[in-house]
Amino acid sequence: MASNSEYSNLTYAEAGVDEPREQEALGTRMLPWFKRTYEFRRGIGAPMSGIGHFGNILDLGGDRGLVLATDGVGTKIFIAQHMRRYDTVGIDCIANNVNDLICLGAEPIALLDYIAINGVDEEALEGIAKGLCLGAEKAGITIPGGEIAQMPEMFSHEQGTTALDLVGTAVGLVSLGDEFDEVPRLVDGARVLPGDVIIGLASSGLHSNGYSLVRRVLLDDSRFALDEYIDRLGRTLGEELLEPTHIYVKPVLALLKKGHPIHGLVNISGGGLLNLSRLPVNCSYNIHNLPPIPPIFELIKETGRLPDAVVFAALNMGIGFCIVCPSASADILLDELQAYGETASVIGTVTGDPGGKVIIERYGLVGSGESFEAHDRLASPL
Amino acid sequence: MASNSEYSNLTYAEAGVDEPREQEALGTRMLPWFKRTYEFRRGIGAPMSGIGHFGNILDLGGDRGLVLATDGVGTKIFIAQHMRRYDTVGIDCIANNVNDLICLGAEPIALLDYIAINGVDEEALEGIAKGLCLGAEKAGITIPGGEIAQMPEMFSHEQGTTALDLVGTAVGLVSLGDEFDEVPRLVDGARVLPGDVIIGLASSGLHSNGYSLVRRVLLDDSRFALDEYIDRLGRTLGEELLEPTHIYVKPVLALLKKGHPIHGLVNISGGGLLNLSRLPVNCSYNIHNLPPIPPIFELIKETGRLPDAVVFAALNMGIGFCIVCPSASADILLDELQAYGETASVIGTVTGDPGGKVIIERYGLVGSGESFEAHDRLASPL
């Protein structure tokens, strides 16, 4: 990749990933074909239209729905390759999928993995399997199958090194009836109301998003080495960058199973807090009490001299998952979350403003769609 | 890849794919971790042990099971890349998964796709979506979601060209009760008996298997060009190599739904007719009436001077799917299959010989596990 010494205007596109063009191609070139497939099935197994801000629901009959999610670990895998440490990305692979499934209230049940690899590397394959197993345990799911594809010519890699891609597809079950029925009841986000509060659950770090940008900023031009100990991180950069994505399944399922009034669930993945606008209501989200930004995000922002608007639109900035609930329920939910070992706090409020805007008060950011705009840069204390 | 002018001993490993080492790593390094995950779930969604020669079954309760399959299109994607023709591999992606699901009697309902790509190529992405849509129509499924991962640095490719990987994960439903219940009843292969006949359904060509070997034999050292018209194929080599995998869902579901006595269903994918030994019975399979081998397989065998044992263990040799049934039912099944436009015939018989051997009489081949041995090479008329 070409180097670029001027980072102040770095966007995701300049990091080699053209997100807007991808969204355009998806919307205009691909979705029309995929929508046509909705005609190919009626009755059992057919998608239920109009619901599913984090995945479509397939009708299983008997008031049950099946939810599917697929996601890889993206270029975080390159960090694992460079460090020859493969026992954490499997956790990310599980997390990226199950954290999406629970946004609909679905209980994840299983995940299939797909590994494309340039040749058989026993250590790498065992490390991945171990990580998948650890992630499956955290999520309470099984791994009943998977696929390994050896494709030596597909990968760009140095002689003698291992290159691979890791992807998962997870399935979950949700109850579509009024009653709780072994599996939790659908949370479709439609009940989110102005005045509801937004509880933010701490992320464990970068999770699995923004790695093209992060590698560009921190690693290109040998700015930092992966084995470099960084004081403010309290560990090496490589260790920080391989920190597994936190899995929110067990605490969220526990809250759902206890019948607490939960109006919306949002996985803060690629796009950061802008994911709040995926909730299917015409409200806005005012983040007025964001916890301190963890050191890794500060390091990325400072090193890349990146504007707040760029980092907040690409990274989770310390919040990995959001729960929207009535304000009267916040304290009891926070107590329960704490009992599950989660670090959680009320970070914001739902407002009646239309347009699905996400406002980060302290940084003067107003976001919608895929980007933030800075409205009062001087207020930024980062 | 290094060239090699001596093809007569070419094995899959020499084509850059070390299948035995992969199986060893899977069995000793990965499966112990995956098996441990079976403890992480009880009751609804848990895998049902001991059944599933083409995938594990997850217990949905109410006598319903969920079956999952994941598979990519392998290095067939390279042919699409070289020809810049992307509207067929989507069909392969659907076929590889749904043809596995129906081996358990499961009715496929949906597939999620995953596309890793080196950058946004609108034509390629639309072609893939179109192929996926065509495949979904043939299989009677929907595509309710998917994922695009832009990873420019992952791929080895010439400047300005597109490189990608295409993978699908499909889900199907099966009835575990005694009755037919909207979805078909489980076919676990346990009823296969000595004396049963094996009906072979014609493949549409190579399907999606053996492409590392095929590309090595036909394309390395510029032996043939993809745009070369080949008389005995009646079209260019590239057109032949991109012929989509046949989808067997509709005829097989029709037979199941009519209640015909079907004892076993086998997708002839990688490993060719050796897939018959995946049936969970201690029988053998005598293929005594194999239809004429289609020209593409002859071309590969002759060009590579490959022994019968190698091509039969890697390629489908003209048979893409097998149905095992009582001999008394064969004629009526053949009539039904013909009505669905399938080319089908009785190709062999199940015998009481133990060991899951696959015998190809005309070629003097006896196979088990992953390979064939030639017992009477002189008898080979190919």
- Tell me the pLDDT tens digit for each residue of B356-379: 999 999 999 999 988 999 986 434
Who has greater pLDDT, B18 or A162? A162
Q: Where are the alpha helices (DSSP H) in A140-189?
A: none
pLDDT tops 50 at residue B90: yes
Torsion angle in degrees (nearest 10) through CA of B307, B310, B313, B315? -90
Q: Quick check: B110 and A41 CB within 8 A?
A: yes
- Tell me the pLDDT tens digit for each residue of B138-180: 999 999 999 999 999 999 988 889 999 999 999 999 999 876 6
Q: What is the CATH number of domain B189-382?
A: 3.90.650.10
Instruction: Please give the sequence-ordered ranges of beta strands (E in DSSP) within chain B, or none if there are none.
Output: 47-48, 57-61, 64-72, 107-117, 142-150, 164-175, 197-202, 229-230, 235-236, 264-267, 284-287, 319-325, 344-351, 358-360, 365-368, 371-374
In this complex, the residue of B22, B71, B112 whose CB is nearest that of residue A120 is B22
In this complex, the residue of A47, A116, A132 whose CB is nearest that of residue B142 is A47
Residues 6+ apart with CB under 8 A from A250: A138, A139, A140, A340
As a whole-number percent, the residues of chain A with pLDDT over 90 amount to 84
Which amino acid belongs to residue B105? G
Query: Which pLDDT value is given to residue A131?
Result: 98
In this complex, the residue of B25, B75, B147 whose CB is nearest that of residue A122 is B25
Cα dist. A379→A298, A360, A361, A364, A365 in Å? 16, 11, 9, 6, 10
Q: Quick check: A71 and B143 CB within 8 A?
A: no
- Counting every residue written for chain A, the total comes to 382
- Tell me the pLDDT tens digit for each residue of A28-70: 999 999 999 999 999 999 998 766 677 789 999 889 999 999 9
Q: Which residue has the tokens 């992307």?
A: B86
Query: Which pLDDT value is given to residue A51?
Result: 65
The domain spans of chain B are 54-186, 189-382
Q: Which residue out of A29, A250, A278 would a mutagenesis test of the B interface target, given it has the greatest number of B Cβ atoms within 10 Å?
A: A29
- The predicted model gives A161-167 an average pLDDT of 96
CA gap A289, A293 in Å, rounded: 11
In this complex, the residue of B60, B154, B171 whose CB is nearest that of residue A165 is B154
Q: State both tokens at A158.
A: 């140095």
Contact A51, A188 (CB under 8 A): yes
pLDDT tops 60 at residue A379: no
As a whole-number percent, the residues of chain B with pLDDT over 70 amount to 92
Q: Quick check: A29 and B129 CB within 8 A?
A: yes
Q: Which residue has the tokens 């999606």?
A: B208
Q: What kind of architecture, by CATH, is found in domain A53-186? A: 2-Layer Sandwich (3.30)
User: Which residues of chain A have a CB within 8 Å of the CB of B46?
Assistant: 109, 142
- Tell me the pLDDT tens digit for each residue of A307-318: 999 999 999 999
Q: Which one-letter DSSP state was computed for residue B71?
A: E
Q: Other CB atoms closer than 10 Å to residue A262's CB: what's the count?
A: 24
- Provide the β-strand partners of residue A117: A150, A164
Q: Which residue has the tokens 């079907």?
A: B262
Geometric angle at alpha carbon A85, from A84 and A88, rounded to 5°:
150
Query: Which pLDDT value is given to residue B1?
Result: 28
Which amino acid belongs to residue A305? R
Distance from CA of A198 to the nearest CA of B (A): 27
pLDDT tops 60 at residue A331: yes
User: Which residues of chain B have a CB within 8 Å of the CB of A56?
Assistant: 144-145
In this complex, the residue of B68, B126, B156 whose CB is nearest that of residue A155 is B156
Q: What is the CATH number of domain A190-382?
A: 3.90.650.10
Going by C-alpha positions, the residue among A47, A88, A82 that lies closest to residue A68 is A47
Average pLDDT across chain B, whole number: 91
Q: Where are the alpha helices (DSSP H) in chain A?
A: 19-25, 31-36, 76-83, 89-101, 122-139, 211-218, 237-241, 249-257, 295-304, 308-314, 330-339
Q: Quick check: A145 and B55 CB within 8 A?
A: yes
Distance from CA of A226 to the nearest CA of B (A): 18
Cα dist. B13→A120, A125, B16 in Å? 11, 18, 5
Q: State both tokens at B329.
A: 């039912």
CA gap B38, B46 in Å, rounded: 7
Strand pairing of B358-360 and A365-368? unpaired
Distance from CA of B163 to the nearest CA of A (A): 8
CA gap B239, B33 in Å, rounded: 42
Residues 6+ apart with CB under 8 A from B323: B198, B199, B201, B252, B255, B262, B264, B265, B266, B333, B344
The distance from CA A67 to its chain's CA centroid, rounded to whole angstroms, is 17
Contact B321, B268 (CB under 8 A): yes
Q: Quick check: B37 and A136 CB within 8 A?
A: yes
User: Which residues of chain A have a CB within 8 Å of the CB of B17?
Assistant: 150, 152
Q: Quick check: B114 and A169 CB within 8 A?
A: yes
Q: What kind of architecture, by CATH, is found in domain B54-186? A: 2-Layer Sandwich (3.30)
User: Which residues of chain A have a CB within 8 Å of the CB of B136?
Assistant: 37, 40
- Tell me the pLDDT tens digit for each residue of B230-288: 999 999 999 999 999 999 999 999 999 999 999 999 999 999 999 999 999 999 999 99
Q: Reduced to 3 states, what is the DSSP secondary structure of residue A323?
A: strand
Going by C-alpha positions, the residue among B184, B162, B146 that lies closest to residue B262 is B184
The distance from CA A135 to its chain's CA centroid, rounded to whole angstroms, is 15
Distance from CA of A102 to the nearest CA of B (A): 15
CA gap B286, B126 in Å, rounded: 44
Contact A169, A115 (CB under 8 A): no
Report if pTM > 0.80. yes
Q: Which residue out of B18, B133, B137, B142 would a mutagenesis test of the A interface target, given it has the greatest number of A Cβ atoms within 10 Å?
A: B142
Q: Quick check: A29 and B145 CB within 8 A?
A: no
Residues 6+ apart with CB under 8 A from B193: B263, B281, B283, B326, B350
User: Which residues of chain A have a CB within 8 Å of the CB of B149?
Assistant: 72, 74, 165, 167
Query: Which pLDDT value is given to residue B24?
Result: 92
Q: Other CB atoms closer than 10 Å to residue A148's CB: what's the count?
A: 18
Query: Which pLDDT value is given to residue A15?
Result: 56
pLDDT tops 90 at residue A354: yes
Q: Quick check: B69 and A145 CB within 8 A?
A: yes
In this complex, the residue of A17, A33, A143 whose CB is nearest that of residue B129 is A33
Q: Kindly report the backbone phi and psi dihedral angles of residue B133, in degrees, each rounded to the nearest multiple of 5, phi listed first.
A: -65, -45
Q: Quick check: A151 and B119 CB within 8 A?
A: no
Helix (H) or strand (E) holding B83: helix B76-83
Distance from CA of B100 to the nearest CA of A (A): 12
Q: Which residue has the tokens 């080319």?
A: B343
Q: Which residue has the tokens 């802008």?
A: A274
Cα dist. A204→A130, A295, A296 in Å? 19, 12, 11
Q: Quick check: B132 and A68 CB within 8 A?
A: no
Of the candidate ranges A18-22, A163-167, A238-242, B342-346, the one whose mean pLDDT is the lowest: A18-22
Q: Which residue out of B60, B70, B96, B115 would a mutagenesis test of the A interface target, given it has the greatest number of A Cβ atoms within 10 Å?
A: B70
Residue in B closest to A2 by C-alpha: B153
Q: Quick check: B38 and A142 CB within 8 A?
A: yes
Q: Other CB atoms closer than 10 Å to residue B294's CB: what's the count?
A: 20
pLDDT tops 50 at residue B40: yes
User: Which residues of chain A have a CB within 8 Å of the CB of B133?
Assistant: 33-34, 36-37
Q: Quick check: B153 and A75 CB within 8 A?
A: yes
Contact B98, B201 (CB under 8 A): no
Query: Which pLDDT value is given to residue B262?
Result: 97
pLDDT tops 50 at residue A127: yes
In this complex, the residue of B17, B112, B157 whose CB is nearest that of residue A70 is B112
Residue in A closest to B20 by C-alpha: A120
pLDDT bracket for residue A17 (50, 70, 90):
confident
Contact B105, B172 (CB under 8 A): no
pLDDT tops 80 at residue A319: yes
Query: Which pLDDT value is given to residue B137?
Result: 98
Q: Quick check: B133 and A71 CB within 8 A?
A: no
Query: Which pLDDT value is given to residue A58?
Result: 96
Which amino acid belongs to residue B226? L
Going by C-alpha positions, the residue among A113, A323, A96, A106 that lies closest to residue A204 is A96
Q: Quick check: A125 and B153 CB within 8 A?
A: no
Strand pairing of A371-374 and A358-360? unpaired
Q: Which residue out of A169, A175, A176, A182 would a mutagenesis test of the B interface target, given it has the greatest number of B Cβ atoms within 10 Å?
A: A169
Cβ-based contacts under 8 A for chains A and B: 286
CA gap B380, B373 in Å, rounded: 13
pLDDT tops 60 at residue B12: no
